Amino acid sequence: MINPLRVLAVLGCASAFGSAISAEPESMEIVIGGGPGAGTYELPSANIYCMHLKNQNTVAASYKDFDASDPKTIGTAAIGVTNPDEAGPKRGSVQVSFAGPEGKASASYCISIPGDSPGPLMLTRDGKSAELAFQGKTKDGVSIRITAKCPALEEL
């Protein structure tokens, strides 16, 4: 399973070196169909990082709002595929956490695919661009859909 905190740490380092130049920005949409935080969220592209982690054989998109403190605001989100080059169903994970006081999440959803949910988890690549998508439910039955569009993956 991809560790969302490790992805965020790598992203922080990657952002220090700058991101690939692209005509269109990264995008991430999250739809939560119940429970705390139900709703549709379009996350700001400035805080979205897309990468291909070669040594870990992972393609991921991650979001972090370092200033988030409102429990109705998404503080972190990640979607990762851990078998991007294999044919067949994709494996990976999805994580969405809402902001809280002192940097602690007020609500959090972590889904391992296929462990916690059969998915589907999808990855479409075209050159250096990628689209990652998941639609499924948490163990508690909360439906989650996440779509990330990455016009230029950062190669790490």
**What would the DSSP string read from start to end of 7-60?**
HHHHHHHHHHT-----SS--EEEEEE-SSTT-EEEEE-GGGEEEEEETTTTEEE
Quote the pLDDT of residue 82.
97
Q: Residue 17's beta-bridge partner residues?
A: none
CA gap 58, 85 in Å, rounded: 9
Quote the pLDDT of residue 105.
79
Q: Which of 62-81 are b and which e, b meaning 16 or more Cβ less than 10 Å from the residue's Cβ? A: bbbbeebeeeeebbbbbbbb
Assess contact for 41 and 74: CB atoms under 8 A: yes
Assess contact for 48 and 63: CB atoms under 8 A: yes
More confident residue, 87 or 16: 87
Per-residue pLDDT of 58-112, as tens digits, reads 999 999 999 998 999 999 999 999 999 999 999 999 999 999 877 677 899 999 9
Quote the pLDDT of residue 51.
97
CA gap 112, 134 in Å, rounded: 11
Q: Is the pLDDT of residue 35 over 60?
A: yes
CA gap 1, 102 in Å, rounded: 27
Q: Is the pLDDT of residue 9 over 50?
A: no
Res. 21 pLDDT band, cuts 50 70 90: low
Provide the residue ranges of all domains of the chain, joining segments of one domain with +.
Answer: 4-155
Min mean pLDDT across 17-31, 58-72, 114-128, 141-155 is at 17-31
Instruction: Please state, for a pLDDT cut of 70, what percent of the chain lies above it.
Output: 85
| Mean local confidence (pLDDT), 20-24 | 62
Peptide bond between residue 114 and the one before it cis (omega within 30 degrees of 0): yes
